[in-house]
Structure formats: C-alpha cells, structure tokens
Amino acid sequence: MSESTDPASPSGQIAAGYAFTGPALDLGALLWDGNCLPELQIRIPLSMLNRHGLVAGATGTGKTKTLQLIAEQLSENGVPVFLADIKGDVSGISVPGTSNDKIEERAKDVAQEWRATGHPSEFYSLGGIGPGIPLRATVTSFGPVLMSKVLQLNQTQEQSLGLIFHYADLKGLELIDLKDLRAVVAFLVSDQGKPELKGIGGLSTVTAGVILRALTAFEQQGAAEFFGEPEFDTSEFLRTAADGRGLVSVLELPAVQDKPQVFSTFLMWLLADLYTDLPEVGDLEKPKLVFFFDEAHLLFNGASKAFLDAITQTVRLIRSKGIGVFFVTQTPKDVPSDVLAQLGNRVQHALRAFTPDDAKALKATVKTFPHSAYDLEELLTRLGTGEAVITVLSENGAPTPVAATRLRAPQSLMGPVDAAALDQAVKSSLLYSRYAEPVDRESAYEKISAEQAAAEAEAEAAAAAAEEAKAAKTAATAARNAPKPDPSLAEQVVGSGLFRSLARSIGTQLGREISRSLFGTSRRRR
C-alpha cells in the first residue's frame, strides 16, 4: 500500500469521504501533492443531487465539460436533465464523441473506461429564435416580479405592475402576450379606465409611461417572440427515453446571448413553473430532474429584493419536489449568500488573480469551503483545465472533505452538432407539431379594443343624435322668429273694408234666394 492510498494519510482520509455505498456519479480521480491518484475516485451520491450545487471557475477552465460529464451520467441513471446552452457547444451531448490522444490520456489518468456514447436529447429555443422547439410563456404565468426584473423596473414601478396584473386577473383580461399588457396599462390611464383603480391605489401616468417605454424597448429586442401561446408545459422536461435513460433537454441560446436579462429571467420562469406544478415528494433515491442554470450571475445582477426573495424561496423549497439546481458562474460571490448557503455540492474550477479584484474574489471563494488539507488559495490559481476543487454532500447529508480532482472526459461530442443534424432532430420531435406554430386567441388586447370601439361608436352615435336635435331646435326657433312677407295685390283687395262690405251685402241677398229655394216660398210680385 502506497502512502497516498493509506487510509491514515491525508489523501486516504479524503478518499474515504467519497466511498459511498449507494449509486453515485463518478467525477474523477484525486489530485494530491501534484500527482493524480486514479485508485482514489471522487464521486457524488445520486440521492444528493437534489441538494443543489455550484459549478464555478474562470472562463476556459472547463465548466461546460463538467456540466456535460454530470449530465451524461444523470441520463444513464434515468434522471432527466435540463441544460442551458449559451455558446452553442452543448448540443454534442446527443451524439457519440470522437476519441483522440488527449481523451485517451485523460481516461488513463483517471481510470476511466471511456466509450463514445450519445444521449437522448430534445432541443429548444426561446420563442423560436434560433434552432429548437419554441418555448413560450404567457405574460400572466411569467408574473409581475419576473416581468419587473426583465423590464428593469424599480420597486415602486414593480408594485404598480403587480397592481396591473391584479386588475387584469379580477376583470378576466387574459395577459397572454406583450400587446395584452400594453393594452391594459394604456387603458388604466385613459379617461375611461382611471376610475377602475381608485379603490386600490391607482396608477400614476408617470409610472405607466415608464412601463410602456420599457415594454417598447423590450419588444425592440425581439422579446415579443417569447410570450404567447401555446405555452410550454415544463413537465415535458421530466421525461425519459424508451430505453429508460433520462432525456437531456438542451435550450439553445446562442441566438439570444446578446439579451442576457431576457434568457436568465426566462430560465428562472422555467424553474418557478416547475416548482408551482410539482407535488411534494421529499427525499428520493434519485432526483426527478437536475436543472443547470448557466451564466447565473446575469440572473442576480440588479435584482430587486422581491426578486431575490422569490429565487431564494424557490431554491429552498424545490428540493422537496425532487428537483436539483446547479448554478454555473465564474465565482461564488456572483450568487447571493442566502442562495449560496443552499448549494450543498461544489465544483470549483481554477480562478485567476491578475488584478486586486481577482485576488479579493479568490480570498472570498476560499472562505466558502470547509476546512481543507490543501492550501486552497494557492491551489485554485494553478489548477489545469478540466481540474477542480470538489466538496459534496455525503449520503447522510454531511459535507465531504475538500478534494482536488482531475475530472473525467465526457463520452459524447465535446462541441456542437452539425446545423442540418440539429434541424432534423428538432423537426422529428413529437413536440415540434405541438409547440411550433404560435396561436393568437382573444385576450386582453382584443377585449379592450372591442370595448373601446363599441364605446367610440356609442359616443359617435350620441354626438350625432345631439347634433340632429340641436339642428332641429335651431330650425324651429328660426321659423318662429322669421318676419312675415308683404301681402300680394289679391290679398290686399280681399282684406280691404270695401271688399268686406260688398261681400256682406252679396251674402245677405244670396242667402235670401237660397232660403226661398229651400223652403218652397216664391218671390213676391210688385
């Protein structure tokens, strides 16, 4: 027995902390005193993957390959995986890798029986931007807290947005896409809509203007594509393949990597939606899903207290629903302490100390680890690519000793698949026909537009009726006040006194003649 494998030696004591009895993922071989010890394997219990984790390290140190390595083994153990593919190089997990000298050397160093293996995968995109089955959310399910984060609203504006969501819910105004939200905001500051919120606080015109401008800027980034129907059912991520392996869901994000606030917040929606829908299951022999949250620092930058509280609560409670979450970022300080405290499994790749800020981050990282037999401050600056400092939770929930580790090589392709092959994989999926085409049904925008059109038509009809009544009244008044015209010659003759006297005389004589005729009397003779 060599000194390094002696159970009483420091390296032997470290290795003993990883000698689990139940199913576990093999991460690599222990590094001690500058040597790789293939007989001392570093592992992570499958049952502890729902206790969350952190994969951190400087750019180029191997974080993505670590994700791929863990995802492969989870799939082989029947555990579904969700991966966010920021740079577009994780899609290779779906096809077997190609051996080369470096892989063979790495496999020999860590006692790995490497064999090229692809894994069952589905590919998604945000709203159909880029290759993948479109993932969409309704504005309602996204909610005011996440929407405020993505619109970069302050606390007061966030509260006002919550009031807007509340009003829409009470009135049955479905907020499906961004035009629905804009329509409700505009309505609530219109003359017709202002009275609607008086009893519950009201909405200032200034705040509404800020929200509307933020929505416009958001749409100009192409974000309107992310919201709508059919809304994605996140339970699709929990599926297994026909052979029992866990399905690897890869969200392709290269087409939207210039919109970091959007995709990081959307990832949080996926996680929050899973939390809402899944039942409590407690501790399981293996998780229902492991969710890798890449570029995690983007999620927390500029976040409001309400947003951070929501993340903390989700991470704390989703464990009991069988979901494990791994945050992937550059340094642990990118993650708020309340969240970091819940991440029981740690894979820390190399850090750089080129600047005073780098040195400060290095010291802060060292303080987040348990007491170690290593000089971590020195070790973390000289780790090679594909090497990491690891501590995980043992089967009884206690932290394992800190172990410097040379990691295994992924067995799938370490790079992107061909674009044509990716497109074929997407369109052959059973989910493609279900989610590919957007649906635009009647919602808040259409309802408010219809009500406003009806109100405008009614107002126009009332205005026309009032105008007609006014015109008729004016005509009647004019008729009453008009001067009488001069009488004609005939009217002057008929109206004269001489004409009236003559008429009476003729009338009397004519009357007597008629009376005689009527009563049978005859004229008197002279």
Pairing status of strand 403-407 against strand 24-32: antiparallel
What pLDDT shows up at residue 387? 97
Instruction: Using alpha carbons, select from 44, 38, 37, 49 the residue that is nearest to residue 17.
Output: 44
Q: Which pair of structure tokens corresponds to residue 77? A: 């153990």
DSSP string, 469-486: HHHHHHHHHHHHTPPPPP
3-class state of residue 6 by DSSP: coil
What pLDDT shows up at residue 4? 59
Q: Divide the 526 residues of the chain into consecutive groups of 10 and give the mean pLDDT of each group.
A: 68 94 96 95 96 94 95 98 90 95 96 97 93 95 92 92 94 95 94 81 89 92 89 96 97 85 86 92 93 87 83 92 94 91 95 88 90 93 95 95 97 94 95 94 91 71 77 79 63 55 52 42 42
Tell me 330's DSSP state: S
What pLDDT shows up at residue 512? 46
What pLDDT shows up at residue 302? 78
CA 518 to chain centre: 108
Task: Characterize 243-264 residue by residue with b for buried, 16 or more Cβ atoms within 10 angstroms of its Cβ, and e for exposed.
Answer: eebbbbbbbbbbbbeebbbbbb
The residue length of the chain stands at: 526
Asked whether the CA dihedral 496, 501, 504, 507 is positive or negative, the reply is: negative
What pLDDT shows up at residue 346? 96
pLDDT in tens, 51-83: 999 999 998 999 999 999 999 999 999 999 999
C-beta separation of 336 from 322 below 8 A:
no
Q: What are phi and psi of 518, to 5 degrees?
A: -70, -40
Bond prior to 230 in cis (omega within 30° of 0): yes
What pLDDT shows up at residue 259? 80
pTM: 0.83
What pLDDT shows up at residue 153? 92
What pLDDT shows up at residue 488? 59
pLDDT in tens, 225-237: 899 999 999 999 9
d(CA 25, CA 395): 13
Sheet holding 403-407, edge to edge: 35-45, 24-32, 403-407, 387-391, 345-348, 53-56, 323-329, 289-293, 81-85, 248-252, 121-126, 133-135
What pLDDT shows up at residue 489? 56
